[in-house]
Chains A and B, each alone.
Chain A
Amino acid sequence: MNAIHTHNLCRSFGKTHAVQNLTLDIEPGAVFGLIGPDGAGKTTTLRMLAGVLRPDAGRAQVLAHDVIKNPEALRSKIGYMPQQFSLYGDLSVLENLQFFAQIYRIPRAQQDERIARLLKFAQLTQFSHRPAAKLSGGMKKKLGLACALIHNPQLLLLDEPTNGVDPVSRREFWDILSDLHLQGVTILISTPYMDEAERCTQVGLMFRGQLIRQGQPETLRLLAPGQMLVLYTSNLARAETLLPQFPHYLSHQRYGDRLHLFVPDANQAMPQLRSFLQRHQLPIETLYQDEPRLEEAFIHLIRQARQEEPA
């Protein structure tokens, strides 16, 4: 049985079809990353799966419970961290956790042990008595996660939990998620960061309320068009204007000190690119083939989807 199963799930807000015929299956124990441009329907999907927003049509089962008929039965089994989660700013870290323990009716006898374990897990033990309002952005997110974990849920639904958090705190947050994954917790997480999507076991790309691609990150990466060459040259601006005339040219992406050039076949294109640039007196510093990143595939797939749309 899948941890999450939806079939033709729909939800509109007025004339906006936020989620349209979404069919999604997530295996138990997966770390499933939901990616897509702003407005693709990621947040609406998570809210429906958490049982806080009623779908207009379709079916959704979460941990074998029907989210429409029986949202209450879900509550004790899932942890949900919305984008704007609320902590009590004037309560301490410890008091926030105690509050959530009471909401979830954790027996008193178990509370202390569980809270101590979560504090350690989220590396917040030494900040137990600090008011939540005085925590850094990254620590607030970790406290929010700890609160969502107070009742040992089997499934975590996380809506862009690391937005605006610096890379060091993001890595710490993900190390916690990896530990949960190792304990067998299923995680569904939406994120605008492609490096985070690479840490998932499965990635689903949403666009205009639908799931348009799904797969392992290593597989999705290969959906970038063609093969990728990395070019270092002293005159990037000139290379950028010349490259579209190169016969094997598909597309390119400029970086600060190099260009990524997409061609149908890297082995074939490489020697020809050398002579092409030589003919135009543009010295190559370094040229090699590399694997495209997930971001390249993401951008390609979204642009393609936009072009296929009826105007």
Chain B
Amino acid sequence: MNAPHIAVQAQGLTRKFGDFVAVDHLSFQVATGEIFGFLGPNGSGKTTTIRMLLGLMAPTQGSAHVLGIDIAKKPEAIARRVGYMSQKFSLYPDLTADENLSFYGRAYGLRGGQLTRRKDEVLELIGLSQRRHQLTANLAGGWQQRLALAAAILHQPELLFLDEPTAGVDPVSRRTFWRLLYELAAKKTTIFVTTHYMDEAEQCHRLAFIHRGKLIAMGPPSTIKQERMPGDVVEIICQQPQAGVRALREAGFADVALYGRRIHIADKALAPRLAEIQHLLHQAGAQPHTVRIIPPSLEDVFIANVREGNQTS
């Protein structure tokens, strides 16, 4: 049924646990070779969706095709063609890097010369060839994470699911990790990734925001930032930010946040109120010298959409 350039297609995908609807009629497509970011607060249904797409859990309603395979009809056919790396990646700390790869390679049915060749290739890709005989426990966090990625791609999956792969890893290691993802995507591996880091979300080709199991926004990061902010963000630079925050909150502005010495307000229809804000800050003795509209960050948009979703449900 599926066109070859579509790696994942979900149609009204739904999963209930008793009365609780964890995933609520999700419909989306992921193109082959795309890096697709799947974002949502904790408990929004991300992991449940991944479990269904991996063929580990049957949907209550709706359907999905993964690499053309119907997840309800042939879930066991999916495992060999996809890779999966979870938040708590399960490497054996008391095995060497090489031994961990052998273990996972055999589990995927690789043997002999083929296993050796693939191990060499993935170690080369992540830059760990020199240290393949080190104990995994002695590798730094960023290396362990790249090794877990190597283990997940040993069997050359066409589609890779990464569930918060970089939680707790520093920015330099995260950037190295993403360079690897781009290399994989360039070779037409499709990547389906969840993350809580908005800077990483910006590295995805396309994003989906989900909240309470429902899709609330989808598109390239820049399009989402331009089109999905339900209001404006105002940045204020002033001499007395503390006085400024107090005055703005007393005046009833909802989302007033301090960024170092700058103040950000995110609220509906702020653009026509700049003069009013300036006046208010003067009166409060905050001594503002800049009051301007700034483009929202992806985080601003994400939070505004989730809060709006909370109000309407």
Contacts and interface: CB of A to CB of B under 8 A. Distances in A.
B257 A174 contact: yes
B260 A258 contact: no
Interface string B149-173: 0000000000000001001111111
Nearest to B306: A168
A182 B40 CA distance: 30
Q: Is the interface of A mostly helix, strand, loop or mixed?
A: mixed
Contact of A167 (B37, B171, B198, B258): B198
Contacts of B172: 37, 298-299, 302-303
Interface stretch (B74-82, B121-129, B202-210, B272-280): B202-210
Nearest to A237: B186
A38 B303 contact: no
Interface in B233-278: 242, 245-246, 257-262
B220 A257 contact: yes
B260 A167 contact: no
A255 B203 contact: yes
B42 A198 contact: no
A289 interface: no
B171 A194 contact: yes
A171 B299 contact: yes
A165 B196 contact: yes
Contacts of A178: 245, 257-258
Contact of B171 (A199, A256, A299): A299
Contact of B168 (A170, A192, A232, A237): A192
A38 B42 contact: no
B35 interface: yes
A191 to B, nearest CB: 10
B222 interface: yes
Interface string B196-228: 111100111111000000000000111100000
Contact of B261 (A137, A175, A201): A201
A39 to B, nearest CB: 6
Nearest to B197: A193
Given A136-B42, A256-B202, A299-B171, A199 B257 contact: yes
B204 to A, nearest CB: 4
Contacts of B307: 168
Count class of interface residues, chain B: 35 or more
A31 B241 CA distance: 13
A181 to B, nearest CB: 7
Contact of B259 (A160, A199, A254, A299): A199
A217 interface: yes
A178 B203 CA distance: 29
A295 interface: yes
Contacts of B207: 256
A130 B214 CA distance: 27
B250 to A, nearest CB: 12
Nearest to A33: B260
B257 A254 contact: no
A138 B171 CA distance: 22
A178 B199 CA distance: 22
Contacts of B306: 168
Contacts of B204: 256
Interface string B40-54: 111100000000000
Contacts of A255: 202-203, 221
B88 to A, nearest CB: 10
Given A37-B173, A295-B199, A256 B205 contact: yes
Contacts of B223: 257
Contact of B175 (A174, A175, A200, A299): A299
B1 interface: no
Interface in A247-276: 253-258
Nearest to B261: A201
A293 B203 CA distance: 14
6 contacts: A163-B167, A164-B167, A167-B302, A182-B242, A194-B171, A237-B186
Interface of B: 35, 37, 40-43, 87, 140-142, 164, 167-173, 175, 182, 186, 196-199, 202-207, 220-223, 242, 245-246, 257-262, 297, 299, 302-303, 306-307
Interface of A: 31, 36-39, 136-138, 160, 163-171, 174-175, 178, 181-182, 192-195, 198-201, 216-218, 232, 237, 253-258, 293, 295, 298-299, 302-303
